[in-house]
Amino acid sequence: MRKQKPQILVINDDGITSRGIKLLVEIASAFGDVHVVAPDKMQSGMGHAITVHSGINISPFHFEGTKSAFSCTGTPADCVKVAIYHLLKVKPDLCLSGINHGSNASLNVIYSGTMSAALEGSLEGIPSAGISFCNNYVDADLRASAKATKAVIEMMLHNKAHKNLCLNVNIPDVPLKNVKGIKFCRQAKGNWHEFYEIHKDKEGNEFLWLTGKFENLEKSKKDTDLWALDHNYISIVPINADMTAHPELKKIERWKTNW
Amino acid sequence: MRKQKPQILVINDDGITSRGIKLLVEIASAFGDVHVVAPDKMQSGMGHAITVHSGINISPFHFEGTKSAFSCTGTPADCVKVAIYHLLKVKPDLCLSGINHGSNASLNVIYSGTMSAALEGSLEGIPSAGISFCNNYVDADLRASAKATKAVIEMMLHNKAHKNLCLNVNIPDVPLKNVKGIKFCRQAKGNWHEFYEIHKDKEGNEFLWLTGKFENLEKSKKDTDLWALDHNYISIVPINADMTAHPELKKIERWKTNW
């Protein structure tokens, strides 16, 4: 009996026409049949949003190198749900999200559409990875990202990744020759210090525009993703959907409840 | 010297005109000065989305019982950032999100706009709580929610809640007299089994509508939020933004990295 090729679901949050998803499809198609369901527009910063108060439209999309491809008006997390519950006949063997233009390391993970799609895949029982390059420019040199993506897919297939595994992969913004390797890490504590620019539209109405500066709160901690990236390593953090703050739970259990 | 009243920031995701936020403001205003920054429309299911590719508008809003109130075109997480970085002169002492019409227990926390606003508050160093009533109907009996909200605020102030504490509070859908008390818990493992209804718009174009059925994957676990709610307790889960899957990290650290 011939072994079936791996079925690979590809999503992103930068939209179906972005450079990052094209490269991801190109690399993934060497490992199996690729199915794309990706947003029809930029969905960056969408976090784990899903569409619950309106409908979702999907349209077939011509995408070189894929077995099937659809653009979707929903969020990245919607795309995964639509793929699994509506479009695909069989559950994919692997779910890959990206390649994102910009870092999803540290706290960025909670705001990330890329990572919400990967997490959604893992919740559906599909080993998943979100892959992000720490460079926001559309014309960035993607060679290190290409090599890292290939290495991650190989590792996941070779090690028979657990069905609920979700990897947050980030690639440092340095030339390929300077990348030192791969490090498995935990998520660093960090914070955004925000600033709102005040602009005026054509009618003279004020609007606010978010800008901010990121601060690494664990600069010296060598087991974190930000340390790895700062030292030219690719960081891989396994994530899950359990947000319980276990140490805090121990503390507040002592509170007197006044019911 | 007279002690300054606590400054309380109130947000929600159902929109500034919802019944839940009105009740929350009414209760919170007995404890301090209330400042509201809330979405101008329904923002349910928005997860931790933030607005990074467009501007945000804010407008003063007449809101009985508040010290200041603004409606905002952004997401719940945007509302918190706008409050802290743009509107308020001093950092609030407490950040309260809700009262949400619908459960945010278990896995719902990752899709929840209510909880993203509370988490955002705690990331900014403000003790925060998201409060949700496990009933989606607009005309629901909110008496148990009112009593629970008062109890939570009292506990947080009395115990001098840590500045990064974020509580996910859920109130069971039973009459007030049947509520047994408050339980501190961890987040239960759960999953949504989705189904897409296919509808047609006026032009005959198909669109998909998300529906689903929730499954509790830890039915017998007494330390979980879903167990508490199923047994008529108010569940309180402290949450944080660290998504690292620590047990998985130990396993994949053994993988050979093929760089």
Give the tens place of pLDDT for each residue, B181-221: 999 999 999 999 999 999 999 999 899 999 999 999 999 99
Segment A201-217 mean pLDDT: 93
Q: How far, CA to CA in Å, does B214 sit from each of A51, A181, A242, B47, B220?
A: 17, 41, 16, 17, 16
Lowest mean pLDDT among A21-25, A170-174, A205-209, B69-73: A205-209
Residues in chain A closer than 8 A to B44 (CB atoms): 52-53
Q: pLDDT category, A212, cuts 50, 70, 90?
A: very high
Q: pLDDT category, A15, cuts 50, 70, 90?
A: very high
Are A8 and A35 a contacting pair, CB within 8 Å?
A: yes
The Cα–Cα gap between A131 and A122 comes to: 14
Q: pLDDT category, A4, cuts 50, 70, 90?
A: confident
Residues in chain B closer than 8 A to A218 (CB atoms): none
Could you report the per-residue pLDDT of B3-24, keeping only the tens digit for each?
789 999 999 999 999 999 999 9
Q: How far away is chain A from the Cα of B2, in angstroms, using its nearest Cα?
A: 27
Q: Contact B238/A245, CB-based, under 8 Å?
A: yes
Asked if residue B257 has pLDDT above 70, the reply is yes
Phi, psi of A143 (to 5 degrees): -65, -40
Q: Contact B248/A234, CB-based, under 8 Å?
A: no
B184, closest residue in chain A (CA to CA): A253
Residues in chain A closer than 8 A to B167 (CB atoms): 252
Q: How far away is chain B from the Cα of A174, in angstroms, using its nearest Cα?
A: 15
Are A168 and A130 a contacting pair, CB within 8 Å?
A: yes
Segment A80-92 mean pLDDT: 96
Q: Contact B47/A52, CB-based, under 8 Å?
A: no
Nearest by CB to residue B208, choosing from A55, A196, A206, is A55
Segment B34-47 mean pLDDT: 94
pLDDT at residue B138, as a whole number:
86
Are A125 and A85 a contacting pair, CB within 8 Å?
A: no
Q: Which of B208, B213, B233 to mutate to test the interface with A (most CBs of A within 10 A)?
A: B208
Residues in chain A closer than 8 A to B86 (CB atoms): 196, 208
Exposure of B45 in the CB half-sphere (CA atoms within 13 A): 13
DSSP string over chain B: -PPPPPEEEEE-SS-TTSHHHHHHHHHHTTTSEEEEEEESS--TT-TT----SS-B-EEE---TT-SEEEEESS-HHHHHHHIIIII-SS--SEEEEEEEES---GGGGGG-HHHHHHHHHHHTT--EEEEEES---TT---HHHHHHHHHHHHHHHHTT--TT-EEEEEE-SS-GGG--EEEE-BPPPEEEEEEEEEEE-TTS-EEEEEEEEEEETTTT-TTBHHHHHHTTEEEEEEB-S--B-HHHHHHHTTSPP--
pLDDT at residue A2, as a whole number:
59
pLDDT at residue A138, as a whole number:
86
pLDDT at residue B228, as a whole number:
98
Average pLDDT value over all residues in chain B: 96
Nearest by CB to residue A47, choosing from B84, B116, B237, is B116
The Cα–Cα gap between A197 and B55 comes to: 10
Q: pLDDT category, B258, cuts 50, 70, 90?
A: confident
Taking each helix axis from N to C end, the angle separating B19-28 and B143-158, rounded to the nearest 10 degrees, works out to: 40
Segment B174-182 mean pLDDT: 97
Q: How far away is chain A from the Cα of B95, in angstroms, using its nearest Cα?
A: 18
Average pLDDT value over all residues in chain A: 96
Q: Which residues contact B3 (CB under 8 A, 6 or more apart)?
A: none
Q: pLDDT category, A44, cuts 50, 70, 90?
A: confident
Q: Contact A110/B234, CB-based, under 8 Å?
A: no
CB neighbours of residue B68 within 10 Å: 15
Q: Contact A107/B123, CB-based, under 8 Å?
A: yes
Nearest by CB to residue B48, choosing from A110, A201, A258, is A110
Q: Which of A78, A80, A104, A210 to mutate to test the interface with B (most CBs of B within 10 A)?
A: A210
Share of chain A above pLDDT 90, in %: 92
Q: Which of B169, B248, B256 to mutate to test the interface with A (most CBs of A within 10 A)?
A: B248
Number of A/B CB contacts below 8 angstroms equals 235
Segment A166-185 mean pLDDT: 98
Q: Contact B252/A243, CB-based, under 8 Å?
A: no
Domains contained in chain A, CATH given: 7-187+221-243 (3.40.1210.10)
Segment A103-113 mean pLDDT: 97
pLDDT at residue A197, as a whole number:
95
Tokens, residue A244? 């319980």
Q: Which residues pair with B244 in a beta bridge?
A: A239
Nearest by CB to residue B199, choosing from A42, A55, A116, is A55
Q: Contact A259/B191, CB-based, under 8 Å?
A: no
Could you report the per-residue pLDDT of A127-163, keeping only the tens digit for each?
999 999 999 998 999 999 999 999 999 999 999 999 9
Q: How far away is chain A from the Cα of B66, in angstroms, using its nearest Cα?
A: 23
pLDDT at residue B1, as a whole number:
54
Q: Contact A248/B241, CB-based, under 8 Å?
A: no
A253, closest residue in chain B (CA to CA): B184
pTM of the model: 0.95
Q: pLDDT category, A1, cuts 50, 70, 90?
A: low
Residues in chain B closer than 8 A to A241 (CB atoms): 107, 109-110, 243
Could you report the per-residue pLDDT of B74-87, keeping only the tens digit for each?
999 999 999 999 99
B205, closest residue in chain A (CA to CA): A57
Residues in chain B closer than 8 A to A111 (CB atoms): 48-50, 77
pLDDT at residue B259, as a whole number:
86
B75, closest residue in chain A (CA to CA): A46
Q: pLDDT category, B2, cuts 50, 70, 90?
A: low
Q: How far away is chain B from the Cα of A230, in angstroms, using its nearest Cα?
A: 18
Share of chain A above pLDDT 70, in %: 99
Phi, psi of A213 (to 5 degrees): -130, 130
